Amino acid sequence: MSHGNEQIFNPAERVAKISHCSSMEQYKQMYDKSLKDPEAFWGDIAKNFHFEQNVTGKFMDYNFDISKGKIFIRWMEGAKTNICYNCLDRHVLAGKGDQVAFYWEGNDPADAEVVTYGELLKEVCRVANVLKAKGVAKGDRVAIYMPMIKELVVAMLAVARIGAVHSIVFGGYSADSLADRMLDAQASVLITADAVWRGAKLIALKEIADDALKVCQAKNVKVKMSLVVQHMKNVTAPQASSNGTANGNPSKKTHFDDKGNFKVGWNSGLDVWWHEAVKDVSSDCPPEWMDTEDPLFMLYTSGSTGKPKGVLHTVGGYMLYAATTFKYTFDYHPDDVYFCTADIGWITGHTYVTYGPMLNNATSVLFEGVPTYPHIGRFWEIIKKYKVSKFYTAPTAIRALMKFGDEPVKKYDISSLSVLGSVGEPINPEAWMWYYQIVGDSNVSIADTFWQTETGGHVITPLPGATPTKPGSACFPFFGVEVALLDDEGKEVKGEGEGYLVFRRPWPGIMRTVYGNHERFETTYFKKFPGFYCTGDGARRDKDGYIWVTGRIDDMLNVSGHLLSTAQVESALVEHPAVAESAVVARPHAVKGECLYCYVTLAEGNDFTEKLIVELRNKVRTKIGAFATPDYMQLAPGLPKTRSGKIMRRVLRKVAVGDRDFGDISTLADPSIVEVLFQHRPKEGKV
Ligand code: WT7
């Protein structure tokens, strides 16, 4: 990423004028207070929420130093609350029941629906009662595998209402990935839908979920119910295309009957239709009052060993942090219409589609589709339709849309926009400038928000009414977050400089453990630098104190804003009988940010054929999901290893981009392998 653009952009006037935090002085004052007196700072914020019981013990207590004992983080000891109550009942009781919570916008522009806070509360209570009747109780894990529909929001809030723990698996994951996650969580219920159109593609969710359930059954994990939303009946299928196939989609033939109805397999005894289950069920269900440190949800993120980690968040701290970051980072006001394009299956959707907005009684757009369907101006069309004022998306989407030029944006009046957010990876200054000038008409504030599944909410971000921004920099820490940069020896880099990005103390929204494996939590995040939470990212601090996150410094890669570990992909590849060994690295990609470049060493007697390449790509798709499909597959007669057998990945990254500037390779057991690998590079453009 270039660090050239250090031009400064002041907050948009119209944002600063009404902002919750409207100057750097105010930011500094609030920030200082949040560090000096966390109890007073967060205690004041907590007063805006309903706590059934107030704090009885310490407001904040923690240990970040593994050399002193177990790592732990606790906020608001003794207090009791319920996040669903705070998202719904609190607003309905305040007379806001008729306010729109979500404008649902379907994959097809013909499909749209409006849902209020009052309606959501009733539906949430019904589903909560359905779950309770099935014996789901406090602490039980419920897996959710759903499209971006209102029932997904209802499902997660219903689970939270009864004190169960939701584990949402993104609808783009494969059956194997879903099964792995359900097994790790020992989920007793699954909530899914029949299927969904994503652009012109059909995703047969229930079919995939059924495959996952078979795996669970084979491993003796008892799932009591699969609750299925009948979604296909209510949506418009993609229009017929010129190639003559029904709806332009081959799956139309296999998944639909003659009358055009979507076909589903049915396991009586396990499967229950959502609409039948909620019929005649009471829309009254008292919330379970939870300890602030009771688990709220787990969400799996890639780990460097290849086995995904169940990041666990708890009720109280997450609630305060989701609400507060949403309010300040987007400078939310009651007349805003907010639109976050992330899928709820990722942390961005958890915190900034569901919890953050709903805790603030906000009105949002919930979008089922993709940015380029049925046309490349879909985002802008939606923004115009609902007069969206705050918009939150990912650099990969911005880069993909930038390719079509300015015209598709200019076609729509989107002057309602005043704050534009970015998340998922470092945003390159070119994309930042396009976002600012073309989408924002140079009359907006841009918020490049740095955070992680683990952090629960934004930890480094500009505030749109206060912070002068530099394109490509996430700027300054959020309230309560204390940033440090460390060198390899763990020595702090003060002032200008570069190092490991770490945090010195907990903020309310930080994860509490890895589900079922606290030791993994400690080793992953706290072992390298005792006393600090280690993000795994590198960062630079410039002369003005701005933080520039430079990307991962471990074996993780970021494809279109989705974190993957190289180990996870390698273990999928070596499952193929033709593969003896594999090594995967990230290669820069103009739209995705990074893509997968895979080296495979074949077992004796195999040829590196087109057919094998297809099989290998499919292997990764079925083990992980379509979003992880490799872009490059290369034969590696051998891998560059040190004498101790460690793969020198930096060499592989160089070969991937055709760069011969390897640096020192004298520690390789066989330095000649580098030239061999070079000769086996696939031709550009060929996968
Ligand atoms: C990793 C976390 C947080 C929601 C989406 C991803 C990268 C994220 C930024 C940003 C630079 C960023 C980091 C981080 N990242 N946002 N604004 N600037 N890098 O969540 O899957 O947990 O990934 O995404 O590398 O560690 P995640």
Nearest residue to 315 via CA among 182, 159, 518, 453: 159
**450: Cβ below 6 Å to ligand 1?**
yes
**472: Cβ below 6 Å to ligand 1?**
no
Nearest residue to 658 via CA among 622, 634, 630: 634
Within 354-404, residue ranges assigned H as helices are: 356-359, 378-386, 395-402
**Mean pLDDT of the region 415-423:** 98
Read off the pLDDT of residues 540-576 as tens digits, 9 standing for 90 and up.
999 999 999 998 888 888 999 898 989 889 989 999 9
CB burial of 183-212 (b: ≥16 within 10 Å; e: otherwise) equals ebbbbbbbbbbbbbbbebebbbbbbbbbeb
CA–CA separation, 580 and 176 (whole Å): 22
CA–CA separation, 277 and 191 (whole Å): 12
Read off the pLDDT of residues 216-260 as tens digits, 9 standing for 90 and up.
999 988 999 999 999 999 999 998 644 434 455 556 668 999 988
In one-letter notation, the amino acid at residue 158 is A
pLDDT of residue 494: 97
List C-alpha distances in Å: 53 to 239, 316, 400.
Answer: 54, 12, 49
Ligand 1 mean position, distance from CA 522 (Å): 20
Ligand 1 mean position, distance from CA 477 (Å): 15
Those residues with Cβ within 8 angstroms of residue 351's Cβ, 6 or more apart along the chain or in another chain: 322, 325, 326, 456, 457, 509
pLDDT of residue 669: 87
**209: Cβ below 6 Å to ligand 1?**
no
pLDDT of residue 307: 85
CB 290 within 8 A of CB 315: yes
What does the H/E/C string look like for 269-295?
A: CCEEEHHHHHCCCCCCCCCCCEECCCE
Residue nearest to atom 2 of ligand 1 (CA): 452
What pLDDT band is residue 686 in, cutting at 50, 70 and 90?
A: very low
pLDDT of residue 252: 65
pLDDT at 662 over 90: no
CA–CA separation, 473 and 495 (whole Å): 16
Give a yes or no: residue 454 inside a domain.
Answer: no
CB atoms < 10 A from the CB of 389, how many? 21
Those residues with Cβ within 8 angstroms of residue 258's Cβ, 6 or more apart along the chain or in another chain: none
Torsion of CA 512, 514, 515, 520, to 10 degrees: -140
| Neighbour order of strands in the sheet with 165-168 | 271-273, 225-229, 189-193, 141-145, 165-168, 295-301, 309-314, 513-514
**Bridge partners, residue 166, by sequence:** 142, 297
Mean pLDDT of the chain: 95
Read off the pLDDT of residues 480-529 as tens digits, 9 standing for 90 and up.
999 999 999 999 999 999 999 999 999 999 999 999 999 999 999 999 99
pLDDT of residue 243: 43
**452: Cβ below 6 Å to ligand 1?**
yes
Give a yes or no: residue 309 inside a domain.
Answer: no
Pocket test for ligand 1, best of 304, 329, 558 (most atoms within 8 A of CB): 558
Strands 112-116 and 100-105: antiparallel
pLDDT of residue 684: 63
In one-letter notation, the amino acid at residue 276 is E
Ligand 1 mean position, distance from CA 213 (Å): 31
SS3 168: strand
**425: Cβ below 6 Å to ligand 1?**
yes
**449: Cβ below 6 Å to ligand 1?**
yes
pLDDT of residue 322: 99
Pocket test for ligand 1, best of 392, 425, 454, 555 (most atoms within 8 A of CB): 425
In one-letter notation, the amino acid at residue 271 is D
Q: Which two tokens stand for residue 48?
A: 């805006």
Read off the pLDDT of residues 157-172 as tens digits, 9 standing for 90 and up.
999 999 999 999 999 9
In one-letter notation, the amino acid at residue 508 is P
Among 10-24, 252-266, 281-295, 510-524, which is the least confidently predicted range? 252-266
State which of 289, 318, 339 marks the end of a domain: 289
Residue nearest to atom 15 of ligand 1 (CA): 425
pLDDT of residue 666: 84
Residue with tokens 């020992």: 186
Sign of CA dihedral 307, 293, 481, 328: positive
Give a yes or no: residue 91 inside a domain.
Answer: no
Give a yes or no: residue 161 inside a domain.
Answer: yes
Q: What is the largest CA-CA distance in the chain?
A: 74
Pocket test for ligand 1, best of 312, 451, 481 (most atoms within 8 A of CB): 451
Ligand 1 mean position, distance from CA 347 (Å): 10
Residue nearest to atom 19 of ligand 1 (CA): 425
pLDDT of residue 58: 98
Which atom of ligand 1 has the smallest separation from the CA of 461? 17
Which atom of ligand 1 has the smallest separation from the CA of 422? 17
**142: Cβ below 6 Å to ligand 1?**
no
Read off the pLDDT of residues 331-359 as tens digits, 9 standing for 90 and up.
999 999 999 999 999 999 999 999 999 99
Residue nearest to atom 5 of ligand 1 (CA): 424
Q: Which two tokens stand for residue 677?
A: 């690998």
pLDDT at 587 over 60: yes
Give the containing element (helix H, strand E) for 527.
none
**453: Cβ below 6 Å to ligand 1?**
yes
SS3 399: helix
Nearest residue to 259 via CA among 238, 241, 233: 233
Ligand 1 mean position, distance from CA 558 (Å): 8
Nearest residue to 299 via CA among 418, 480, 452: 452
List C-alpha distances in Å: 183 to 212, 270, 324, 544.
Answer: 10, 17, 34, 48
Read off the pLDDT of residues 439-471 as tens digits, 9 standing for 90 and up.
999 999 999 999 999 999 999 999 999 999 999
Give a yes or no: residue 323 inside a domain.
Answer: no
Half-sphere exposure of 210 (CA within 13 A, CB side): 16
List C-alpha distances in Å: 558 to 22, 98, 351, 424.
Answer: 33, 41, 20, 8
Ligand 1 mean position, distance from CA 561 (Å): 7
In one-letter notation, the amino acid at residue 463 is L
Sign of CA dihedral 484, 490, 495, 499: negative
pLDDT over 70, % of the chain: 97
**525: Cβ below 6 Å to ligand 1?**
no
Domain of residue 190: give its range: 119-289
State which of 289, 316, 341 marks the end of a domain: 289
pLDDT of residue 667: 83
List C-alpha distances in Å: 84 to 146, 154, 324, 358.
Answer: 19, 10, 16, 9
**226: Cβ below 6 Å to ligand 1?**
no
Ligand 1 mean position, distance from CA 424 (Å): 4
**Mean pLDDT of the region 359-372:** 98
Residue nearest to atom 17 of ligand 1 (CA): 450
Give a yes or no: residue 610 inside a domain.
Answer: yes
Ligand 1 mean position, distance from CA 514 (Å): 18
Q: Which CATH number characterizes residue 650's domain?
A: 3.30.300.30
DSSP at 461:
-
SS3 336: coil
Give the containing element (helix H, strand E) for 538.
strand 533-541
State which of 233, 254, 289 marks the end of a domain: 289
Which atom of ligand 1 has the smallest separation from the CA of 448? 17
What pLDDT band is residue 180 in, cutting at 50, 70 and 90?
A: very high
Nearest residue to 141 via CA among 300, 307, 352, 306: 300
Residue nearest to atom 7 of ligand 1 (CA): 425
Residues in the chain, total: 687
Nearest residue to 531 via CA among 512, 507, 553, 505: 505
pLDDT at 685 over 70: no
Strands 165-168 and 141-145: parallel
Residue nearest to atom 13 of ligand 1 (CA): 425
pLDDT at 5 over 80: no
Please count the structural domains in the chain.
Answer: 2
Q: Which two tokens stand for residue 630?
A: 């490799």
**Mean pLDDT of the region 372-394:** 98
Ligand 1 mean position, distance from CA 134 (Å): 37
Residue nearest to atom 6 of ligand 1 (CA): 424
Residue nearest to atom 12 of ligand 1 (CA): 425
Transcribe 539-555 into DSSP letters: EEE-TT--EEEEEE-SS
Give the containing element (helix H, strand E) for 448.
strand 445-449
**Mean pLDDT of the region 111-116:** 98
Give the containing element (helix H, strand E) for 317.
helix 315-329
**Bridge partners, residue 227, by sequence:** 191, 272
What pLDDT band is residue 317 in, cutting at 50, 70 and 90?
A: very high
Sign of CA dihedral 537, 538, 544, 545: positive
CA–CA separation, 664 and 118 (whole Å): 65
Which atom of ligand 1 has the smallest separation from the CA of 347? 4
Pocket test for ligand 1, best of 422, 533, 537 (most atoms within 8 A of CB): 537
Distance of CA 93 to the CA centre of its chain: 32
pLDDT at 646 over 90: no
Give a yes or no: residue 42 inside a domain.
Answer: no
Give the containing element (helix H, strand E) for 365.
strand 363-367
List C-alpha distances in Å: 200 to 239, 260, 372, 480, 577.
Answer: 9, 16, 10, 44, 34
**537: Cβ below 6 Å to ligand 1?**
yes
Ligand 1 mean position, distance from CA 535 (Å): 10
pLDDT of residue 251: 64
Q: Which two tokens stand for residue 621?
A: 């798709």
Residue nearest to atom 16 of ligand 1 (CA): 424
CB 569 within 8 A of CB 302: no
Give the containing element (helix H, strand E) for 33.
helix 24-36
Give a yes or no: residue 443 inside a domain.
Answer: no
Q: Which CATH number characterizes residue 267's domain?
A: 3.40.50.980
CB 404 within 8 A of CB 380: no
